[in-house]
Amino acid sequence: MFRLYKQFSCSLCKQISIKNKRCISTTAILNTFWEKDDKGGYKDNRPLPSIKERMRDGLKELKHEIALWSEEVKEKLESDLLLVYRPDEVDVAWQFENEESLNNWIVTSDSDNGEGYSKCSLTLTNHKKALFSGHLSLRVPRDGKVKRAGYCNMKTLRARKSFKRETHLDWTSYNMLVMRVRGDGRSYLLNINTRGYYDITWNDTYHYILFTRGGPYWQVAKIPFSKFFFASKGRIQDRQQPIPLNKITSFGITAGERYAGDFSLEIDYIGLEYDPNHTEEFAYEMYQMPKYIVGT
């Protein structure tokens, strides 16, 4: 509120400026409530292809987008209005059967942004499973800016329709996230992103911790959506709320435990399930916060 008052007082003084009179506030205007960069300052430093290369790649993409559009029309015409979800039946959202399935994922680490020394990769095993592996390093660069380091992340591309139109995944018919994984004993952070239109909602994310067993055996993790907690830019929000399941934009997995070393998470599939026995809407207490302390 004090920052808002300073910004308002400066703009007011400019409007009714009086000669040889000092303004109430002598500090610079702070644009606290607007964020112009949706990537938070992280820029893509890759060189831009030439116009000829872009035109050639665009024509290749056009053929694919037309085919995708025709599939959307066909699905719309043939869709059944009555959808039945059977208990214990998993609808697979992501499965890793070939190299092309890996193109739906983006893999990043702190070293990609010059903020650490961790490395990671997403590869396909001989048994057609995805392997998210790498090395976590907690060494902090000596640049005077970074205070903590050590994370690796895999994330799906933004949900889109044909011709690159942004859309959302609709998971309202489910109440469980199901994963068949084989871990190394570490815990991993699951991230469900619900990026909104306004800048204040660009970083809305719901988290839950996936605990894995070490050893050679696979495990099937069923996680209710009601267990995911609300955060933004890594900070758990005071005002919690359930996931808007009709506004899912992407899904991700983060390796960021606070001890260094190699990590390895093998993934068979990531799916969705409806469990009629699970009736919980939200697992966390909703506190009534004082006015103007947190957003509504």
Query: Which pair of structure tokens corresponds to residue 144?
Result: 């005077």
Strand arrangement, sheet containing 250-255: 105-109, 152-156, 250-255, 187-193, 204-211, 229-232, 235-236
The residue extents of the domains of the chain are 1-33, 86-273
Angle value at C-alpha 254, between 250 and 260, nearest 5 degrees? 170
pLDDT tens per residue across span 203-240: 899 999 999 998 789 999 999 999 999 999 888 888 88
Domain 86-273 sits in CATH at 2.60.120.430
DSSP, collapsed to helix, strand or coil, labels residue 112 as: helix
Q: Which residues pair with 108 in a beta bridge?
A: 153
Q: What are phi and psi for residue 85, nearest 5 degrees?
A: -110, 115
Predicted TM-score (pTM) of the model is 0.80
Query: Which pair of structure tokens corresponds to residue 213?
Result: 């067993």
Amino acid sitting at position 200: I
pLDDT tens per residue across span 80-113: 555 556 777 899 999 998 888 999 999 999 999 8
